[in-house]
Chains A and B, each alone.
Chain A
Amino acid sequence: MLESSVAPKALERTLYIGAACLGVLGLGSLLLQFFGASLLISTSLLVVVAAVVGNKLASHNSAMAAVWLLATSSLAAAFLIIFLSNYDAETASVPYAFWFLVIASWALAWASVSRFTEINTLSRTVNGVLTVLIPLIFGVWLLLLWEFVTQGHDVPKVLLPAPSDIGDRLVNSVPTLWADFKQTFIKSVLTGYIMGCSAGFLVAILIDRSPFLKAGLLPVGNLVAALPIVGIAPIMVMWFGFDWQSKAAVVVVMTFFPMLVNTVAGLSAASKIQLDLMNTYAANYWQSLFKLRLPEALPFIFNALKINSTLALIGAIVAEFFGTPIVGMGFRISTEVGKMNVDMVWAEIAVAALAGSLFYGFIALLERVATFWHPSMRSTAR
């Protein structure tokens, strides 16, 4: 099932050698400093052994090398985190050995990703695991490096809190975050998104029916798209009040235009032959719309839905800066930053990022189901 591997490339070789050298360096500097840092000594040994064994394995079996490197780099990272948590970075800066080892274990993780991508298999489950695993290693290491740098250098929390601080805050303020999420995402974003997208779609159909509207409405749509959100948000607050209705209105304004232009473009996507065909069947406007032109427009419509899913969230959060009841993600961000509670701001950002990605992913999934026939989707449809 798992193919034997290709010899590691030059870059990857450098990763092994680099990791090994840094391990040796870490060991050497430790001997010089004589800190009571047995944890770092064992990490150094681990990194050296991991790099040497990994290099040997890589020539024979990608999968084994990948798993080995992943395991050792994770263990090294765990050691480093334990070391950090027992170390008081405020009084004395961490030894150089620590930084060498951070880079060394990062290099090992990098080598493991590079081995994982070499794995060549037809098995669906293995491929499925790999498509999740590789970005996961990437993401986790981004967080790890962030953690190491902020903790090791004792970066002030106002500038950049460590991921562990943000995680703490996230877990400890679930009720607040949930209330904010409900207010901003479920009330403002979803309502505005649905209203804005449907309005854009319906106006596109109207425009399609009448050339007069096409000449008159499309330029107006252009104008609406050019309106700056920071300008319309306070006006919407005056019109629709402080609560979520005004934010939903901002979202409607933001999502309307992308849907309008994309649907108008999509409705002209049907080919001449297909339109002629409908003509030879003596199909009326609605038959040709529903049976030919709307299906043909679906990829365009989904494009707009995807663009709008991120625009809507931005719109709602920014709009909350201009007056809101004392709940909502934008409100929380603007007040907590005033109180120097930057970890709460980051916690809100994390929630927004997660909600936005899931929303986008959901639309992308719908698209895959609805436009399975489109050339860009076919490879997954068989």
Chain B
Amino acid sequence: MSESVIQVDNLSLTFQTNDGPVHALSEIDLDIQQGDFVSLIGPSGCGKTTLLRVIADLEKATGGSILVNGVSPAAARLARGYGYVFQAAGLYPWRTIAKNVSLPLEIMGLDRTTRKERVARNLALVNLEGFEKKYPWQLSGGMQQRASIARALAVEPDLLLMDEPFGALDEIVRDHLNEQLLALWGKTNKTVVFVTHSIPEAVYLSTHIVVMSPRPGRIQDIVVSNLPRERTLDIRETPEFLTIANRVREGLRAGHSYDDVES
């Protein structure tokens, strides 16, 4: 019924360092369907960000196979097959908010009217109308991160890769942005791969939660959520939510992730 967006088969990645090889990823098998919201959760050093970067072709796997939109990650990147949101907003300070959102569109070579229309539409999606002419440093951290999401959405990809996008924000802003992200996902039926180290955030947002453990980075458990697609923040008080959160916590514990991780 739905098709695979990302197929990962026995993937591994080993970094060669001066202290010998580091196994960042090992024996990763993952299948992500169109419309899924998949969270990668785990302690620092478990390879969740590395896995996301492999999907985005920012790192190259050293073993196994991976297909994004049915082609190699490199081909998917060159076809602008995904939007990527980084931990920091990474907006260019010399461009206004509107110009920042329009940056990928300029690189894609779209004409002026299309760019204008897409910038307006995507800024409206993240509730940033009226801030087009502001510079990034005149906006709060939460607004900057929303602008960077609008910039990723402006490419109009079916796949959105997000690397702890709300990690640097305070909890109130974070809750608010989580709600907005969920609404956005509900409206557009995009596929989202979301890296986080917060259990409530992962459970609240996701249809699938991939629990990872370090040394070597591998998948410990994949928890399928039975929560409805439309959720409010209140859902975090329900028994179903707590059951899923517990299973995720057990998965993290089973990976011995708390014993040997320093931070």
Contacts and interface: CB of A to CB of B under 8 A. Distances in A.
Interface of A: 271, 273-274, 276-283, 287, 291-292, 295, 371-375, 378
A291 B103 contact: yes
Contacts of A277: 84, 86, 90
Nearest to B135: A373
Nearest to A292: B92
Given A280-B56, A373-B93, A378-B137, A291 B84 contact: no
Nearest to A378: B137
Given A276-B58, A373-B93, A281 B88 contact: no
B121 interface: no
Nearest to A278: B107
A273 B87 CA distance: 9
Nearest to B58: A276
B172 interface: no
A371 B94 CA distance: 8
A351 B92 CA distance: 42
A257 to B, nearest CB: 27
B77 A287 contact: no
22 contacts: A273-B86, A276-B84, A276-B86, A277-B90, A279-B57, A279-B58, A279-B77, A280-B83, A281-B103, A281-B107, A281-B108, A281-B155, A282-B78, A282-B80, A282-B107, A291-B92, A291-B103, A295-B94, A371-B94, A373-B93, A373-B135, A375-B137
Given A273-B87, A373-B93, A374-B93, 9 more contacts: A271-B90, A273-B86, A280-B83, A281-B103, A281-B104, A281-B155, A282-B79, A291-B106, A291-B107
Contacts of A287: 107
A373 B80 CA distance: 29
Contacts of A375: 137
Interface in B78-132: 78-80, 82-84, 86-88, 90, 92-94, 103-104, 106-108
B140 to A, nearest CB: 16
Interface in B130-156: 135, 137, 155
Contacts of B83: 280
Interface residues of B, number: 25
B186 to A, nearest CB: 25
Interface string B171-214: 00000000000000000000000000000000000000000000
A278 B77 CA distance: 11
B83 to A, nearest CB: 8
Residue of A276, A277, A291 with most chain B CB atoms under a 10 A cut-off: A277
B107 A283 contact: yes
B185 to A, nearest CB: 20
Given A287-B107, A373-B137, A378-B137, A281 B90 contact: no
A352 to B, nearest CB: 35
Nearest to A282: B78
B94 A280 contact: no
Contacts of B86: 273, 276-277
A370 to B, nearest CB: 9
Nearest to B136: A373
Contacts of A274: 90, 92
Contacts of B58: 276, 279-280
Given A271-B90, A273-B88, A373-B93, A281 B80 contact: yes
Given A291-B106, A373-B135, A280 B93 contact: no
A295 B92 contact: yes
Contacts of A373: 93-94, 135, 137
A280 B83 CA distance: 8
A295 B78 CA distance: 24
Residue of A282, A291, A371, A374 with most chain B CB atoms under a 10 A cut-off: A282
A273 B85 CA distance: 10
A45 B88 CA distance: 68
Contacts of B155: 281
